[in-house]
Structure 1
């Protein structure tokens, strides 16, 4: 998968939506429908919809960074990318601990690290239909859609060696596991149908 292929994926999204796509509820609030996973690259449809049952809230927080460089194309709706300012701090001044998220076939293993930090919200970027945005690995951020908003994006990721998936969480939280919630066939079909409808793609 090459990053400049994202427009080709957009042009062919109708064909992709005619396949049998499985999906999972992601703890960060969206449904993920995998399109392609090859080597260190990946392509997924991300869908936020009030029509689908919400996922279990994250056990850490919405503030996270990826181990991969992201290119994302907004298919419809709106998404706000909030850049978070994270500063190392000792235990007396810290507000959060940094956790490493290690994903596997059965879910995520979340491990506390020795690093404690303070954080503040930084610049906010707003993107709408047709917009493409990028985010480098290791940048703490949070993604927000309007309340009760309907939004879908195509996300391309390219792994960056040496980087880690991280999340900010409570100072005293310990190691734990989180299982991803798979969509049942009816929910997966509804997710695909919603995207088709908003894009005007025929079945």
Structure 2
């Protein structure tokens, strides 16, 4: 099942007050703040991502290149993000880790597979831009630490593969507990980003 990213934005806009009073944002292992605002198991997930200015809380070790078991569609509401997508080739540059989820967190577990990652997409996506990352494609999203950005993301077209992360050959597994982010700061930034998108002030 595929969902429109514009429908995802409409859901955020129409339910903003209710979401702000009920949904708690969490730090994501990749260093930004993530908040699930709508989901249907095995069908779609809608999230809002926020990169707060001056702060990134990445997992240790910091390995940002990863895949999703969903197709990803993103709409940049404010700020700008760097969209990097990679082609995988035979090689020994990276080890592949699989992602396992449990209540309250996740862990990555090393496999025996090694690969090289070659950038195929390297684009700056400014406010107002929509872009996609196909299911199973290794990618990362960058925002400079001194800058802020807000995106709404739709994950749909779910597949059977577990998400993967590229890392170096170190320990066999790494856990990550997801920590709450200050809701008022998050939702104030989201409200401002929604207003910016509607008025085109952020473009």
TM > 0.5 fold call? yes
- The 8 Å contact of residues 88 and 115 in structure 1, kept in 2 or not, is answered as no
- The 8 Å contact of residues 107 and 178 in structure 1, kept in 2 or not, is answered as yes
Give the secondary-structure state (helix, strand or coil) at the position aligned to 1:65. Answer: coil
Deviation at 1:79, TM superposition (A): 1.0
What are the within-5 Å matches in structure 2 for residues 12-161 of structure 1? 12=14, 14-15=16-17, 18-40=20-42, 41-50=44-53, 53-59=55-61, 61-89=63-91, 94-161=92-159
Measure, in 2, the Cα distance between the counterparts of 1:198 and 1:60: 27
Change (3 A) 1:21 1:28: same
Number of residue pairs matched by the alignment? 193
Computed over aligned residues only, the root mean square deviation of the Cα atoms, in angstroms, reads: 2.2
- The 8 Å contact of residues 101 and 111 in structure 1, kept in 2 or not, is answered as yes
Stretches of structure 2 lacking an aligned partner (at least 5 in a row) = 197-203
For the pair 1:194 / 2:189, whether they are aligned, the reply is yes
Deviation at 1:16, TM superposition (A): 5.1
Stretches of structure 1 lacking an aligned partner (at least 5 in a row) = none
Deviation at 1:155, TM superposition (A): 0.7
Give the secondary-structure state (helix, strand or coil) at the position aligned to 1:3. Answer: coil
Give the secondary-structure state (helix, strand or coil) at the position aligned to 2:30. Answer: coil
**What TM-score results when the alignment is normalised by the length of structure 1?**
0.84
